[in-house]
Structure 1
Amino acid sequence: MSRLNKECLPPGFEYLPACLSFEKSLALYAHLASTLVWQQPDITLFGRTTPIPRLQCFVADKSVSYGYSGTQLENTPWPPVLSAMRTRLMRQFGQDFNALLVNWYRDGQDSMGWHSDDEAELGACPTIFSLSLGATRHFKIRHKQSQEILTLPLPTGSGLLMTGRSQQDYQHALPKQARVTQGRINLTFRTVG
């Protein structure tokens, strides 16, 4: 896996352009889309409860408990292909990844709003590795103080490593893109304490 620091990326964000080949990334997308147990829980924002605008699956060790925005996620055991990937990533990054949040954006209408992965269970400076499969989507990063926004296209097979103060100083989002008709699956490996 080659590493490339894009000059424009803020501290704590590292872009890895070729984590998986084009063919392998699309094959993994198809495999996960058809085999994972997908959920679409409700979320309450500004007093309004609606289903989240994407599907998700939370893969984790049995002992792990994790939730966000008042929603507790149900654990799914590690499928062999994701367990093997986790082992490789733990060696590569020196992290004890014990959880994986998988989001399936079925097309450009599915999205994720501005947020930071700053839940107490992740610790003060979490390391999160994100792998993109399927359609290229625009990942946005916004500084919490200056509100400056960076747009980073994430094609299939690419990775993004978030470390240090990335969650304290920045928010990120995956906005709607009406012209995107294909799906994207995003894997975010993390350590839940």
Structure 2
Amino acid sequence: MIASNQNPEIIELPDGRLRYIDRLLTETDTLSHTLKNSLHWYQGDVYLFGRHYQTPRLQCWYGDKAYTYSQVRLAPTPWPPLLNQLKAIVEEASGHAFNSVLGNWYQHGQHNMGMHADNEPELGKNPVVAMLTFGIARPLQFRHRNGEDRFTITPTDGSLLVMEGPIQHYWRHGINKSKKVTGQRTSLTFRQIL
């Protein structure tokens, strides 16, 4: 696992900022295989508008503290060594400290992530979320709450995307279903739970 020293691309959005490093990690095939086979993946639950749904992807949660979103509480789980190594790389590249990570495994194009913001109270005033991507590149859609501004970025294999500033208050983000996608994508979203 080799981390590059390239400088991030800064993407200024109205009411938010992204930082993007296209190839933070190399040896991604080996990393992705190890993550898929060593982490505790499961199909999670969410509650939206009073109804129960299973998440349309697999997920895992590791960290020092519990996390609650969509009325579901994720209990703290000890860090495996590989996630600790990746956390250290992400912290150095982003300049932020993290104590938790949510993994998402999109096994095919029908696996998706609905539009949402990571703005739960336990993430603090201006939450920072740093996302490592492995596997097939899929567009990450951003929509401003004003209903007009939109932005799309397609994180590549081994990339790091950092969402920071007030972005979680003004923008929602998600990954759409796609009939064209046949490959798999795994993401690790590091965050600091207060």
Same fold? TM cut 0.5: yes
What is the identity percentage for the equivalent residue pairs of Structure 1 and Structure 2? 37
Provide TM-score, normalisation by structure 1: 0.90
Q: Distance in 2 between matches of 1:116 and 1:109?
A: 21
Name structure 2 gaps, 5 residues minimum.
none
Within the alignment, does 1:56 sit opposite 2:59 as a pair? yes
User: 1:102·1:185 contact (CA, 8 Å) conserved in 2?
Assistant: yes
The CA RMSD measured in Å over matched residues stands at: 1.6
Report the more deviating stretch, 84-93 or 134-143: 84-93
Matches for 1:1-193 after TM superposition, within 5 Å: 1-2=5-6, 3-6=8-11, 11-21=16-26, 24-61=27-64, 64-193=65-194
Say which SS state the counterpart of residue 154 (structure 1) adopts: coil
TM-score under structure 2 length normalisation:
0.90
**Partner secondary structure for residue 82 of structure 1:** helix
Give the total of aligned pairs: 188
How far the C-alpha of 1:6 sits from its partner, in A, is: 4.8
Indicate the SS of the match to 1:56. Answer: strand
Question: Could you tell which deviates more after superposition, 79-88 or 130-139?
Answer: 79-88
In structure 2, give the amino acid aligned to 1:187.
L
CA–CA separation in structure 1 for the residues paired with 2:44 and 2:147: 33
Q: Is contact 1:114–1:171 with CA below 8 Å preserved after alignment?
A: yes
CA contact (8 A) 1:57 1:76 kept: no
Alpha-carbon distance in 1 for matches of 2:37, 2:108 = 16
For 2:51, give the aligned amino acid: R
- Measured in 1, the distance between the counterparts of 2:54 and 2:30 equals 28
